[in-house]
Structure 1
């Protein structure tokens, strides 16, 4: 196993005050998240028959919940740069389950996720309700995935995916896979779309492992969530929006993927480390 894939040291036992923070933050965050889900589903009952694939209202509910989550957790969220206004997609590095909250808080997007997530208890419901695109990372289904991407892009959905293909320990960036970039080069899309690279940077709480917010490999979700909720002092998260890249400026998907990777690395302390 690669060194970075190994789990961090066991988490220390929580103090009484840590348990209080866990219960309070967990209760409020859970109520907010699933209360927001219920409201979103009610809005979709009207939105779906009137607007079809278009979602003019429900993404604002998701964004409000995600912004509020950072206030509840006590984690400052800093946005640098601005989300693009052009039609297209967003790509970012992937380090933690917190990425979903951070990226949704900063803009209204639809995530692209591996198909297994759809079956995860709780999380799968949230993902489906918020319009996540589920894909199977298999060469045999590449054409089907590309067609699905094209359908959502043509509906003016701002798709966001993680080209690394997996989450990391938050202190490095893996090489970008180019497969999903192929949809941007379809006839009628290439000349109209831009792709915006985004760097998500986690700063651990003082005195904690630099990988404190990273969730990767075969780490269990529950213990990691517990430690984040119970932390007495939090770090911060930066979301850095880079210059959007016109798809038409690139010869193929591999060239576009490489340019996006370079931009994401430029905003991350890991730099050229992989």
Structure 2
């Protein structure tokens, strides 16, 4: 059984013109330099940082944040954030709509993604994920014990762990039911009393005249064509990241109640911002 969300058929974009390809190239070259140049610097700094600080990363997250923030500048996509990211270690949960989420959620605050184990083997994306400290887990209740051990270690190191509880990406116009499985680890006795979770809503605004789902990447959509279409856009749109107030895990009876509360908050942010 797959968790992949398909929804309605993907939007049909106009065939790229010569001008579109030229725009894509003009944006792609500096973006590649930024991303992979930043990766090289990060790996070099990590050679010194890791022996001195172990799991703690006092320097390299700033490199990731710099890359992600400036990626939107090079793409021409307007980035905006509302609200205040929480301070201190904890968990962050957000809706998932696009590969652009990686840049959007890292641009304002330094976080570490929690991703399914399969992502580690993806060419390009997997390498970047491992280098930036992504936590890879298996989506299986039998592995909850191992997940708790990893979460304890990373939270003790001061990390903010980011989860996509929908379990898949959507077209960006909706929020799917949050799966309570991942929330089970937060109710571990050593985590529950002191752990805070912050719900975050990511809202994409399509370029003028384009389908509202322009930036959404879901179902069986191939990464390459979607990236090319994004790079070739004559005018770009915007992305807004909304930080809601964090909550204490101890204030909720169980994982299902917590999952529903976080889902409602993220969904309300999407609905309110779309209507505005």
Q: What TM-score do you get using the length of structure 1 for normalisation?
A: 0.95
Shift of 1:188: 2.6
* Matches for 1:150-169 after TM superposition, within 5 Å: 150-169=152-171
* Matches for 1:88-127 after TM superposition, within 5 Å: 88-127=90-129
Q: Distance in 1 between matches of 2:224 and 2:78?
A: 22
Q: Distance in 2 between matches of 1:11 and 1:207?
A: 11
Deviation beyond 4 Å, 4+ runs, structure 1: 1-4
Q: Deviations over 1:172-225 (max 9, x none)?
A: 110001111122222232121110000000111111111100000111000000
Ranges in structure 2 where 5+ consecutive residues have no aligned partner = none
* Matches for 1:169-180 after TM superposition, within 5 Å: 169-180=171-182
Which residue of structure 1 lines up, in the alignment, with residue 58 of structure 2? 56
Ranges in structure 1 where 5+ consecutive residues have no aligned partner = none
Q: Distance in 1 between matches of 2:8 and 2:147?
A: 31
Which residue of structure 1 lines up, in the alignment, with residue 31 of structure 2? 29
Q: C-alpha root-mean-square deviation of aligned residues, in Å?
A: 1.7
Tell me the number of residue pairs that the alignment of Structure 1 and Structure 2 aligns: 271
Q: Deviations over 1:36-57 (max 9, x none)?
A: 0000000100000000000000
Which residue of structure 2 lines up, in the alignment, with residue 186 of structure 1? 188
Q: What TM-score do you get using the length of structure 2 for normalisation?
A: 0.94
Shift of 1:154: 2.0
What's the secondary structure of 1:188's corresponding residue?
helix
* Matches for 1:166-245 after TM superposition, within 5 Å: 166-245=168-247
Which residue of structure 2 lines up, in the alignment, with residue 149 of structure 1? 151
Contact 1:66 1:104 in 2 (8 A): yes
